[in-house]
Amino acid sequence: MSEEITKGLTCKRLKQVGFPTNQDEKVDSVIYYKEDSYKKLDKYLAAAFNKASKKLTGKGGTPDFVATHDDKKIIIVIECKEDVSKHQTVDNLDEYKRGLGTKDEIIGNCINGALHYATYINANHDVIAIAVSGTSETNMRVTSFALPKGKKLSDIKLVEDGEYTDTIMNFDDYEKKIDVILGRHQEESTEVLAELKKYASACNNYLRANHISAKDRAGFISALVLALTNEDSSLFALTETSLPDEALKKPFIDRINKNSKHKLTVYVTTSEAVVKTVSFYFLLFHKV
């Protein structure tokens, strides 16, 4: 019965960070299930956990909580234990990369169980596996790992390990955290920087050819890049209008975020016309 207290506190914390008030009720694309309530509402989870018994019998298994988001490739799975001493089987959490132990260890320990279920649902999703133990807010342990999409247990990364009030996040925060700890977007960031350099070089060469000083060129190019990422700027509207077809316009008018590499490529391919137009006015006022 004490484990129900742990589950109740887990529900409370989920609501504190923005999850729906009620289980099995979707709000803003987010829904969470307690125990086997997902079976009637989510066919994917029902199929995925069909052979996920912690007894390793190949029969069905049911985590204490599982949460999904329609617009994110992330699933959150949570296991609870009333006894903090049953939180883990190893002191060094990196040891879990080597395995989860025997069936008794998987059944009896919080982290082991959470990671066990995570391995059944990461074929198409990143998984956040959360272990919650304890029966009071002042005496709880919460540990979570990220198991990347399509990867093995050896690829898990520790996300958080702490107390009740400073752990468990919403989907947006977990998404950002996963990107950081898994080192995602580093390659894209390098490519974005290369595109920025190409764009700056195109502007700089044109302005140099028109006898604009190095000091003025630097300020002008910086302002130009800022204006191209501001939807309210006249230059943003000018560039959008100058794009030759709808295929280029569509990604351009989206917010920069994950489309930054493509957008900057668009900027570079249209930079000559834009720079010439804007530079005309810059030169005009520069001479006044």
pLDDT of residue 157: 96
DSSP letter string over 240-265?
Answer: HHHSSSHHHHHHHHS-SGGGHHHHHH
> Do the beta carbons of residue 142 and residue 79 sit within 8 Å?
no
pLDDT surpassing 50 at residue 75: yes
**Spatial CA neighbour of 7 closest among 138, 131, 171:** 131
Q: For 147-181, what is each residue's pLDDT tens digit?
A: 999 999 999 999 999 999 899 999 999 999 998 88
Q: For 193-202, what is each residue's pLDDT tens digit?
A: 677 677 677 7
Q: Could you give the CA distance from residue 274 to residue 206 in angstroms, rounded to a whole number?
A: 11
Query: Where residue 207 falls among pLDDT bands split at 50, 70, 90?
Result: confident
- Domain borders along the chain are 2-181, 186-287
Q: Could you give the CA distance from residue 253 to residue 229 in angstroms, rounded to a whole number?
A: 10
- Distances in whole angstroms, Cα of residue 101 to Cα of each of 60, 88, 222, 278: 19, 11, 56, 66
Structure token pair of residue 35: 């125990």
Q: For 119-145, what is each residue's pLDDT tens digit?
A: 999 999 999 999 999 999 999 999 999
> Do the beta carbons of residue 48 and residue 121 sit within 8 Å?
yes
3-class DSSP state of 34? strand
Would the pTM of this model clear 0.75, i.e. be above it? no
Name the pairing type of β-strands 141-147 and 157-162.
antiparallel
